[in-house]
Chain A
Amino acid sequence: MAKRIDVSDLDIYYGNFKAVEGVNLSIEPRSITALIGPSGCGKSTFLRSLNRMHEVIPGARVEGKVVIEGQDLYGSDVDPVDVRRQIGMVFQRPNPFPTMSIYDNVAAGLRLNAKKTSKSDMDDLVERSLKGANLWTEVKDRLSRPGSGLSGGQQQRLCIARAIAVQPEVLLMDEPCSALDPISTLAVEDLMMELKEQFTIVIVTHNMQQAARVSETTGFFNLNGVGQPGRLIEYNPTEKIFSNPDEKATEDYISGRFG
């Protein structure tokens, strides 16, 4: 099920502002790819262009090619809704649906798409997804309470559960652990290791150890200055990036000698 992603000469714009320029990379199936880089260099922007969430923003557009398993993501006959069903996403800020209970939030992917599922199947799915996101023990007694009543970290794990409940083929995670304590972070990392058996995972993180721990491949984004587009500086196996990077900028960033 996992799919390979090939990106070539990708430029990403917000209106007239070029946020990311000239990205070329290919993401292996059944692997974790980490994206690192300073704030504002376009990691989130790039990630959002991989499941066509970028174009939701008015005036935002993309030039170049993203090919998933031989299919051009931005081809004229491709429906963005179908793309997003296959490529799930966890956002930088937790965004559970405030009108829905915890249970309904996890079930939302199926419910909102009007997929007929029996009650027991749905119960199983919700439990499995919440366990996967390491949230089950905390919420199993209050599944019918509103999802927005959870703490920030719990909300983020709820969003992870919601994303994996629809069993996407690719999972994009934008700093999923930035609001989590070390225990939940480890749980999410374990989850990622588990998920990569079936899915392709791309994760944005500011946590170098996390990138080093979980990912096979790491991409380093940087930008030359304010108002300049971000670029992919180096894209290499994680081991190489963290021990012997090709680029001086990468080494500076990783060792903290940045800026």
Chain B
Amino acid sequence: MSTSIEQSSAAPDTSAPSPNPLGGHEKQAPWVPWAMFGAAAVVALGFLLLTGWNVVLFVIYTVVLGTLGTYVLSRVTEGSRKAVDRLVTCLVVSAFGIAMVPLVSLVYEVVRRGAERFDGEFFTASLQGVIGPGGGAYHALMGTLIITLLTTLISVPIGLMTAIYLVEYGSGRLKRSITFLVDVMTGIPSIVAGLFAYALFVLIFGPGVRLGIMGAVALSVLMIPVVVRSAEEVLKLVPNELREAAYALGVPKWRTILKVVIPTAIAGLATGVTLAIARVIGETAPLLITVGITNALNFNAFDGRMATLPVYAYYQLTQPGVPPENAIDRAWTAALVLIMLVMGLNVVARLISRLFAPKTSR
């Protein structure tokens, strides 16, 4: 291995290191590291052709050889400081690449298998009376949208007002205990949130109850702390000088918050809310207990079971019936739609923060 490095590093090393007037070394051309990785790939390829082909090993060999080669070459031609810089760059990029592997393969797999049933019928039909092929997830998509909307309607006012209290009014023990409780809520397992909502509604309606609003309550337990945390951070960023400017004009505190603090922070607040929605839209466990599943369309969150995309995917996958392929395809498409919803929300969040941001920076 060591010989191959020296060989490949010897190739571009034709120009001898010549000190420049500042006493440093000649700067490497930008293509040199790429060439180094190309050489490493060739070496890895040759090695693997001898020992047996394997994609994973090929990538690993290329990265390791390329990194070492770049480091050594840079150390010889550019000096140790530059070499360490290049080494760290290689390591950081590799780490990023490793982090991307699960994401890319996940998206690839979901798109590949979800594309099968990504058709008009999927978005217009429910599963009512469907046995075998066909059918769709219109009812589950609607259920997810309705329940998420209700969750947002519950969580945003509560979360926002809590954050405003913490930043603008709170002090002392009450503030500290609320912050602590919000932190605890952030860590609540989602199944516990579901059990909480179930227990709450059983107290009122008796056992066996399943309602869309129960799911919204369960999801709110998960969403409120996320909204509080993000809104708190954003509100803290509003400079105190703006509040003082308003106070000095004789504006009462509540109007200052309403007319100065919130408009200044609106971009961050909206972004935070959107990301919080994205966070809960794919929750499965709490909806499994509180909302259940149905094959029929149900727009009424206050009456009976509703289908939701994650729970739909779960049941299509675990109880596919015979033959299983149709249901499994539908499960993948439901997963694809869910991922698209989350990505869409992320895009919306970015658009919002760009749209609402103060027009010129200070």
Question: Which residues of A line the B interface, CB within 8 A?
Answer: 51, 53, 56, 58, 81-82, 84-86, 88-89, 91, 93, 95-99, 108-109, 111-114, 145-146, 148-149, 159, 162-163, 166
- Beta-carbon contact of A146 and B358 below 8 Å: yes
- Beta-carbon contact of B358 and A99 below 8 Å: yes
- Beta-carbon contact of B248 and A81 below 8 Å: no
- Beta-carbon contact of A149 and B246 below 8 Å: no
- Beta-carbon contact of A159 and B244 below 8 Å: no
A99: contacting residue among B250, B255, B256, B263, CB under 8 A: B263
The complex places the Cα of A146 from the Cα of B263 at a distance, in Å, of 14
Min CB distance A150 to B, Å, is 9
- Beta-carbon contact of A95 and B249 below 8 Å: no
Q: Which residue of A lies closest to B358 (CB)?
A: A98
The complex places the Cα of A96 from the Cα of B255 at a distance, in Å, of 17
7 smallest CB-CB distances across A and B, nearest first, come from: A85-B250, A95-B241, A149-B360, A89-B248, A98-B358, A109-B249, A84-B250
The complex places the Cα of A113 from the Cα of B239 at a distance, in Å, of 21
A-B contact pairs, 7 of them (CB 8 A): A53-B247, A81-B250, A91-B244, A99-B358, A108-B246, A111-B259, A112-B259
Min CB distance B239 to A, Å, is 7
Min CB distance A128 to B, Å, is 17
Min CB distance B90 to A, Å, is 42
B contacts with A, residue count (CB < 8 A):
26
Q: Which residue of B lies closest to A94 (CB)?
A: B241
Q: A95-B242, A97-B242 are in contact. Are A51 and B260 (CB under 8 A)?
A: no
Asked if B264 is at the interface of the complex by the 8 Å CB criterion, the answer is yes
- Beta-carbon contact of B251 and A95 below 8 Å: no
The complex places the Cα of A221 from the Cα of B199 at a distance, in Å, of 67
Q: Which residue of A lies closest to B264 (CB)?
A: A99
Asked if B359 is at the interface of the complex by the 8 Å CB criterion, the answer is yes
Q: A88-B248, A95-B241 are in contact. Are A112 and B255 (CB under 8 A)?
A: yes
The complex places the Cα of A145 from the Cα of B246 at a distance, in Å, of 20
- B249 / chain A contacts, CB cutoff of 8 Å: 84-85, 88, 108-109, 112-113, 162-163, 166
- Beta-carbon contact of A82 and B250 below 8 Å: yes
Q: Which residue of A lies closest to B253 (CB)?
A: A81
Question: Which residues of B line the A interface, CB within 8 A?
Answer: 171, 239, 241-252, 255-256, 259-260, 263-264, 266, 358-362
- B244 / chain A contacts, CB cutoff of 8 Å: 53, 56, 91, 95
The complex places the Cα of A89 from the Cα of B255 at a distance, in Å, of 18
The complex places the Cα of A95 from the Cα of B243 at a distance, in Å, of 9
Given contacts A95-B242, A145-B359, A149-B359, 4 further A-B contacts (CB under 8 A): A88-B249, A96-B245, A97-B260, A148-B362
The complex places the Cα of A51 from the Cα of B245 at a distance, in Å, of 12
Q: Which residue of B lies closest to A147 (CB)?
A: B360
- B358 / chain A contacts, CB cutoff of 8 Å: 98-99, 146, 148
Min CB distance A142 to B, Å, is 12
Q: Which residue of B lies closest to A111 (CB)?
A: B259
Min CB distance B72 to A, Å, is 51
- A95 / chain B contacts, CB cutoff of 8 Å: 239, 241-242, 244-245
The complex places the Cα of A113 from the Cα of B250 at a distance, in Å, of 8
- A162 / chain B contacts, CB cutoff of 8 Å: 245, 249
The complex places the Cα of A146 from the Cα of B360 at a distance, in Å, of 7
- B362 / chain A contacts, CB cutoff of 8 Å: 98, 148
- B252 / chain A contacts, CB cutoff of 8 Å: 81
Q: Which residue of A lies closest to B246 (CB)?
A: A112
B251: contacting residue among A51, A93, A112, A145, CB under 8 A: A112
- B247 / chain A contacts, CB cutoff of 8 Å: 53, 56, 81, 84
Min CB distance A105 to B, Å, is 9
- B255 / chain A contacts, CB cutoff of 8 Å: 112-114
A51: contacting residue among B171, B239, B242, B248, CB under 8 A: B248
Min CB distance A62 to B, Å, is 16
- A111 / chain B contacts, CB cutoff of 8 Å: 259
A166: contacting residue among B250, B256, B263, B361, CB under 8 A: B250
The complex places the Cα of A186 from the Cα of B246 at a distance, in Å, of 27
- Beta-carbon contact of B248 and A98 below 8 Å: no
- B241 / chain A contacts, CB cutoff of 8 Å: 91, 93, 95
Tell which of A96, A112, A114 has the most Cβ of chain B within 10 Å: A112
- B360 / chain A contacts, CB cutoff of 8 Å: 98, 146, 148-149
- A114 / chain B contacts, CB cutoff of 8 Å: 255
- Beta-carbon contact of B248 and A91 below 8 Å: yes
Q: Which residue of A lies closest to B263 (CB)?
A: A99
- B361 / chain A contacts, CB cutoff of 8 Å: 148
- Beta-carbon contact of B250 and A98 below 8 Å: no
Q: Which residue of B lies closest to A165 (CB)?
A: B249
Min CB distance B156 to A, Å, is 20
The complex places the Cα of A146 from the Cα of B357 at a distance, in Å, of 12
The complex places the Cα of A82 from the Cα of B358 at a distance, in Å, of 30
A113: contacting residue among B243, B251, B263, B359, CB under 8 A: B251
- Beta-carbon contact of B171 and A91 below 8 Å: no
Min CB distance A55 to B, Å, is 10
- Beta-carbon contact of B250 and A109 below 8 Å: yes
The complex places the Cα of A82 from the Cα of B360 at a distance, in Å, of 33
The complex places the Cα of A149 from the Cα of B242 at a distance, in Å, of 16
- A56 / chain B contacts, CB cutoff of 8 Å: 243-244, 247
The complex places the Cα of A109 from the Cα of B239 at a distance, in Å, of 19
The complex places the Cα of A46 from the Cα of B260 at a distance, in Å, of 26
